[in-house]
Structure 1
């Protein structure tokens, strides 16, 4: 593209590289693709409109590519669908049946041509190779160069300003995703604490993270909960965090004021604890029975309120998922599916059968598509490796 814009000719034998990409990959690196785009879209001096969303692909889509496409599409609002096109590399000039078939099979939302096929542009990467001696080789490389330059021209001409889209709806999707992620992490901590009340304790520990974006978390000093655990790096003032609304937290149990929150390199976790209660004799135990009964009543009232709070948070998380399904370009992404494994059983326990059926239908439909299964499989395998890494630190 830069060669085309700069008017470079084949005979000049110039090749530009924008970046040098590291050979080692993995989920942690791939997670940053969506993170960096999210940052770009939310920044005040970032991108507020989009002409095209381009996916570069070779002749097939791997599990990793399915995951990246899924995670990126889940960032956008539904109004971006006609801005999505494909840049197919290593082309031999013939119709790219394999990759087009994979795109159609995966039902990747994108712009379609008059034959209802994904809009795509073909590029031959052999132009970067050293020039080979012999007239036939030079002729082949020149044809590859000219074909690629022609495709770049067609691509740039396709960027019609009438098709330009605002990222306003996409911004809403990003905020909803952040709130859902924060709410799910908070809910898992509270459920874990609830289910292991007798043998566990909640403690605050230093954060161990390989990503600098996740080395700080926002916690509530009143509720003693993690309100925004992952990727809470964008702002230093808790009041400006995405999970705050009108100065109050939308995640923690007490919906506390922002002034009751801190942002630091510590978070709350549940740790197993051992507690031994000794009684001098049976008589002393009996004397305390009445007092314990009173305390038990207070505890039960507290637990009932705690259960109600968890149920309210489950309702909010469900409504967030519903809203995302209405505005997100890909509501059934691996990002959403990974939370359903935890969320659906908890809703079933709470007797929310209608919600369970609706979310199970979403998961069933999503997992019926091979691309979604591949993306989720890649995500879970990568998360397992990351968890193993952090537990070994």
Structure 2
């Protein structure tokens, strides 16, 4: 007797055979591809973001079961995201940004292919350095050829019951939104998890926090409600009442998914070009501020060296006149190697300048250093003193730091180092002048870094959806106080990282205000701190306005050098050394 072959339902067929490819290994986030590419159907891309424990992984698993048409009474469920074992709720179950490319097949419940970008949870116990890693992963994903270049919906996943955002929760919202360009605002949707039939309290909290996203007619953030509690529930329960509730939640989940994917089809796809620029500017700003902090310390140390040398020469002038080999001791700053082999971080060092241009850097391979945030579009480094080509930069097991050491000197050695034969008539004055020139060189490098940082800040104001919350000292103070009061596991380490970040935020705030960064607290100074600030402010602002104007550049450098004279340093350095 012949029987007709009954075709299997799509989910049954997939259960028997999956076409999951191996993940890529390397700096690009993991990409998992399901099915063969369907050229006749469009592709939609969604990004799923949120705090640790918001329910992102379960939501994505709910999506794949909906897409494949899994029914309540089926004896199986699919998991696209494996949350893993042995991790606490305080740590994100998803450790790396992962891209799931689900290619269209007949019997799909949606009329297109789907790309899901699953991100690790922001704000877990590993702190702000971990959040920075996530941002770097997304930047690589958006810029690599095999990555993602456009997006349809940015899904911000949050729990329904949050009636008020704690400082940490607000930080998560602001951190996520600061990644994107302003043009993505209308593509943001709130996905509310653990929801019931009532209005989710979190929507009012989101409104109060100023999240930029489209609003419904009643003024609430555009959102979708989900309750995935029945997704993996046992569907063969003998308790009719319990089984009835689970099936009810299952059906609610189906309706929510149907509404979500229907809305997805109506949204205009956005390019990630502006978002890429935001990420690039943020990384460049981070590198510039890091180097600015170093150069300010070097500048202050150099100033002290000049002062101390001048004072020692003046103090022992008689002995020096009689004996050029007379020794005196000064404090100087020398570059030194600091081992980072156990940190797990990558670095970009310039071999020609012996300078750390970017640390930590997200690029491990020397052959890929052209993509480091320190490199300009012309392939040259923007951070090392000689602006060297990218190919002389390497990932190494140490970074260059500056350390103060005591050093013995003689006037004879200083003359040989700094003076030419024609300057021998007034060697002491010429020597002091050369030392001052060294300080002015560092001072000008600081101004250059200030200009660069200022340009980044101004551009980010124009294009970023939200400011980086960690660029504001007051915001960081709020997070520090929150960590201290909550006392969650690892809070001391997070406070330490936040304190370090606050120093950078203070530096950015000073750059934005145009304040002078090389204060020279010299005895006998005649100018006021207000005048110093005004001088530095005008120098940076004038240069920002006239970057392409050579006259403006010369004027700016002249202003900085003159401000050094105003600092009263010359009262010590320009002593009359003639007998």
Residue aligning to 1:182:
287
Residue aligning to 2:299:
194
Q: 1:135 to 1:160 in 2, by over 3 A?
A: same
Q: TM-score, normalised by structure 1?
A: 0.78
Distance across 1 between alignment mates of 2:347 and 2:256: 45
Q: 1:188 to 1:79 in 2, by over 3 A?
A: same
Q: 1:289 to 1:134 in 2, by over 3 A?
A: farther
Q: Which secondary structure does the structure 1 equivalent of 2:361 belong to?
A: coil
Deviation at 1:354, TM superposition (A): 7.7
Residue aligning to 2:327:
none
Residue aligning to 2:346:
215
State whether residues 149 and 271 of structure 2, in contact with CA within 8 Å, keep that contact through their aligned partners in structure 1.
yes
Q: Which secondary structure does the structure 1 equivalent of 2:299 belong to?
A: helix
Deviation at 1:182, TM superposition (A): 1.1
Two-structure CA RMSD over aligned residues (Å): 3.0
Residue aligning to 1:173:
278
Deviation at 1:81, TM superposition (A): 0.5
Which residue among 309, 313, 316 is the counterpart of 2:452?
A: 316
Pairs within 5 Å for 1:1-393:
1-17=63-79, 18-21=81-84, 22-23=87-88, 24=91, 25-27=125-127, 28-58=129-159, 59-60=161-162, 61-97=165-201, 99-127=202-230, 128-130=232-234, 133-160=238-265, 162-197=267-302, 198=305, 199=331, 200-208=333-341, 210-211=343-344, 214-219=345-350, 221-222=352-353, 224-233=354-363, 236-237=366-367, 238-242=369-373, 243-277=375-409, 291-335=427-471, 338=502, 339-345=504-510, 347-349=514-516, 351=533, 352-353=536-537
State whether residues 89 and 124 of structure 1, in contact with CA within 8 Å, keep that contact through their aligned partners in structure 2.
yes
Distance across 2 between alignment mates of 1:209 and 1:171: 31
Deviation at 1:307, TM superposition (A): 0.6
Deviation at 1:62, TM superposition (A): 4.6
Q: For residues 86-129 of structure 1, what are the alpha-carbon distances to aligned partners after superposition, in whole Å with 9 as ceiling and x for unaligned? A: 111111221102x1122111111122222231111111132134
State whether residues 219 and 228 of structure 1, in contact with CA within 8 Å, keep that contact through their aligned partners in structure 2.
no
Q: 1:81 to 1:248 in 2, by over 3 A?
A: same
Distance across 2 between alignment mates of 1:353 and 1:104: 37
Q: TM-score, normalised by structure 2?
A: 0.55
Residue aligning to 2:326:
none
Q: For residues 19-41 of structure 1, what are the alpha-carbon distances to aligned partners after superposition, in whole Å with 9 as ceiling and x for unaligned? A: 22532342144333322222211
- In structure 2, list runs of 5 or more residues that go unmatched: 1-62, 92-124, 306-330, 412-423, 474-501, 518-532, 542-579
Residue aligning to 2:109:
none
Deviation at 1:133, TM superposition (A): 4.3
Residue aligning to 2:484:
none
State whether residues 71 and 335 of structure 1, in contact with CA within 8 Å, keep that contact through their aligned partners in structure 2.
no
Distance across 2 between alignment mates of 1:105 and 1:208: 45
Q: Which secondary structure does the structure 2 equivalent of 1:303 belong to?
A: helix
Distance across 2 between alignment mates of 1:94 and 1:355: 58
Q: 1:172 to 1:343 in 2, by over 3 A?
A: closer
Distance across 2 between alignment mates of 1:105 and 1:182: 33
State whether residues 56 and 87 of structure 1, in contact with CA within 8 Å, keep that contact through their aligned partners in structure 2.
yes
Q: 1:49 to 1:7 in 2, by over 3 A?
A: same
State whether residues 217 and 266 of structure 1, in contact with CA within 8 Å, keep that contact through their aligned partners in structure 2.
no
Q: 1:164 to 1:91 in 2, by over 3 A?
A: same
Deviation at 1:177, TM superposition (A): 1.4
Distance across 2 between alignment mates of 1:210 and 1:108: 36
Residue aligning to 1:391:
none
Q: Which secondary structure does the structure 1 equivalent of 2:515 belong to?
A: helix
Distance across 1 between alignment mates of 2:539 and 2:135: 29
Task: Decide which structure has greater helix share.
Answer: 1
Q: For residues 192-246 of structure 1, what are the alpha-carbon distances to aligned partners after superposition, in whole Å with 9 as ceiling and x for unaligned? A: 22223344432122325644xx322233622x43222222416533444342231
Residue aligning to 1:388:
none
Distance across 2 between alignment mates of 1:90 and 1:344: 40
State whether residues 220 and 227 of structure 1, in contact with CA within 8 Å, keep that contact through their aligned partners in structure 2.
no
Deviation at 1:14, TM superposition (A): 3.3
Q: For residues 274-325 of structure 1, what are the alpha-carbon distances to aligned partners after superposition, in whole Å with 9 as ceiling and x for unaligned? A: 334589xxxxxxxx99645433211211211221121121011011111011
Q: 1:148 to 1:356 in 2, by over 3 A?
A: farther
Q: Which secondary structure does the structure 2 equivalent of 1:264 belong to?
A: coil
